[in-house]
Chains A and B, each alone.
Chain A
Amino acid sequence: MDSSILLQILVSGLLMGLIFALIAVGLTLIWGVMDVLNFAHGEFLMLAMFISFWMFSLWQVDPLWSLPISVAALFATGVLTYHLIIKKVLNAPGLTALLATFGLSILIKNLAQFFWTPDFRHIQGAILSDKTLSFFNLHLSLAEVVAAGGSGLITYLIYFLIFKTKTGRAIRAAALDRDTALLMGINIDRIYALTFGLGGACVGVAGALLMNFYYVFPGVGSLFTILAFVTVALGGFGNITGAFLAGVLIGVVETAGGVFISPVFKYTVVFVMYLIIICIRPKGLFGW
């Protein structure tokens, strides 16, 4: 095969993978710290994308400038979700939290359909729209490059927060052993709320960046949710670097698998790879 196509596969896969990674980082944070499967994560993404869309289509605010708004809104959504819902189901058998977030995801998805109709929406004419960087035979969508770069940046920021700050230490403590952390005087309630908020914020960034090149409709979350879960499991629960690298791996495997085997199996290849890796390393690539 043409070597330029090979390189294109690698690069395109990398870009897509970084976007999966960003969505996964928020999820792995919540999962690692509170052991909660946030089924509504995809719907949070959808909300972030819709915020970007409406800001652009009603007030011509470019998604790049409305990004902080998406982030703030989703941070608030995360905190609210924690206080109103998650807090109440933390002590229940694990499946109940799942049920709750699942109910939440159906609710959000259909409220979105109720208010915004099921129509597909897309942005044209934003700063990043439709610009391609071309090096010889390699073509990269500028919007995707920015999204990928944003993903890297945010992942680094989260990593920095968790490992190099006092708050981060508190989060890690709560994740490791909740009861001891409580004894040590850590306000678990606030830490959990913060974690959920951060998870939401990550997806807020992802949504704002995605809106530059993707389309949104109330059901868009489900497309990404499944891959996000697999990414998190592959990287190891609670492991930020793991989620990041797993996302990249999945992006590349998906694109390569699609080209070399068949596009219908592009996700199947990812799942098979997941199963193989998880059998060799039962806690994911970097799980602890």
Chain B
Amino acid sequence: MMKKLLGSLVVTAAIVFTFGALMAEAADVIRIGSIYPLTGAIASSGLRSKHAIETAVDVINNKYDMDIPFARTEGIPNLKGAKLEIIWGDSQASPEVGKTEAERLITGEKVPLIIGAYQSGVSKAASFVAERYKMPFVCAESSSAELTERGLKYFFRLAPTDAEDSIAFFTFLDEMKKKGKKVERVAIVYENTEFGVHAAGEAKKQAEKKGYKIVANIPYPFKSTDVKSEVLKIKAAKPDVILQASLLGDMMLFAKTFKELKVGFNANLSYCGGYHDPSFVLNLKKDAEYFMGQCTFSPDFITKKPVLGKINEMYKKRSGVDFDGVTIEAFTSVLVVADSLNRAKSTDSEALVQALRSTDLKTPTLPGDGVKFNEKGQNIKIISNISQIQNGQYRVVWPGEMAAAQMVWPFKSWEKR
């Protein structure tokens, strides 16, 4: 009896497996794969990127009267107006799941291209898969410079790398030094993950190159219960400037603990992370003021380019918040894909890769106003600005020619506000 039950259980399992095997048939729109962390530790950011991508698909697929590539047409013109459809894969913030999803999207869902994946670690693993299948991987926002140093032929990235951000930060600090400001003593604070360790490495390189003194090197465990020991170490080191690589949760703790333990410094500059998350300002309100960070989007850009206001409204309807650097990079990545589809006039991966390599897309959505890839797949038109939170808004404060507001220096300690 037991054996019979066992047998039938196994057969049932086999049927379930087989069902799984036969899933997914191709449809007749243009299907693009997208891998983002939709559940798990970074789900809030992953979901915002999802909304940004959906906004872009909406703009491309429907007719809108605005100066955004493919807005005024419906779908991809050279492909008879075929519309884009995103097939989602949830990376669950883990490289192996990202890899599995990449394989599933490529071999099962048969997408010709993948966009993603937010975290550098996941982008690394997923793009390896794409490369092996000779499929293009368009990475909107992962910042690790290493991604474009791997010699891959099918990888493309829009965002500035942490290497470029580091150069920008130290160029900025050099300027402040010339103005007589105290910036010699630098503290580097970073989460002990791929993102943080890599950014810190780039920061150290630039600091040493330009002769700054690293007075504190503080890696910490991602998602801490508290950051007292980290902040006490920073305080003891008496830095002039803090370079920070933290995601939202820890960033909030740091801001509050700096305040609580009365740590003074002239500036806190963040790599692309928690500082940029709209929830940072929403949650901390006045306590978020005067923090600075690398910037690829700010509401100031809308004043200069009103069309950004229009897409911001569309995005805001879906996500409840304004665009930030990461999400507008995701938005733009879909435009890049549409552009390459349009010029390739085909959904064949090889044709798409050729088209991507010769991309020269004019778009108001990114600083630098366009996307063009070098031989390593890095977008060379993107410019890193520095923004500062003033009155609850991200204001562009550097470089001088792009600045929309006066920088507040030094960082006003909380008692003085």
Chain A positions near chain B (C-beta within 8 angstroms): 1-2, 5, 8-9, 12-13, 16, 20, 110, 113, 117-122, 124-125, 130, 132, 134, 139-141, 213-215, 217, 219, 223-224, 227, 254-259, 262-264, 266-267
Contact = CB atoms under 8 A, between A and B. Distances in A.
A254 B236 contact: no
B284 A122 contact: yes
B127 to A, nearest CB: 25
Contacts of B134: none
10 contacts: A8-B232, A118-B39, A120-B279, A132-B259, A132-B260, A217-B44, A223-B224, A258-B230, A259-B232, A263-B227
User: 4 shortest A-B CB distances, which residue pairs?
Assistant: A258-B229, A122-B283, A118-B43, A263-B220
A274 to B, nearest CB: 16
A260 B41 CA distance: 29
Contact of A120 (B224, B233, B283): B283
Nearest to B47: A118
Contact of B283 (A8, A215, A263): A215
B43 A259 contact: no
A256 B277 CA distance: 31
Contact of B43 (A113, A141, A214): A113
Given A113-B39, A139-B260, A215-B252, A16 B283 contact: no
A16 B192 CA distance: 22
A165 B381 CA distance: 74
Interface in B211-259: 218-221, 223-230, 232-233, 235-236, 248-249, 252-253, 256, 259
Contacts of B41: 219
B232 A5 contact: yes
Contact of A264 (B40, B221, B261): B221
A263 B259 contact: no
B44 A120 contact: yes
Given A122-B252, A139-B261, A215-B249, A16 B225 contact: yes
Contact of A223 (B219, B223, B233): B223
Nearest to A210: B225
Contact of B262 (A124, A139, A263): A139
Given A124-B285, A130-B256, A130-B259, A255 B229 contact: yes
B217 to A, nearest CB: 9
B260 A120 contact: no
B249 A217 contact: yes
A20 B228 CA distance: 15
B287 interface: yes
B322 to A, nearest CB: 15
Contacts of A224: 225
B351 to A, nearest CB: 38
Given A8-B261, A122-B284, A263 B221 contact: yes
Contact of B256 (A1, A20, A139, A213): A213
Contacts of B227: 263
A141 B236 CA distance: 19
A238 B339 CA distance: 65
A257 to B, nearest CB: 7
A5 B236 contact: yes
Contacts of A258: 220, 228-230, 232-233
A262 B232 contact: no
Contacts of A223: 223-225
Given A5-B236, A130-B287, A16 B226 contact: yes
A213 B225 CA distance: 11
Contacts of A264: 192, 219-221
B219 A262 contact: yes
Contacts of B43: 113, 118
Interface string B319-354: 000000000000000000000000000000000000
Given A8-B232, A9-B232, A119-B44, 13 more contacts: A8-B261, A118-B43, A120-B248, A120-B277, A122-B283, A130-B259, A132-B259, A140-B260, A214-B253, A217-B249, A263-B219, A263-B221, A266-B224
A1 B44 CA distance: 41
Interface in B160-187: none
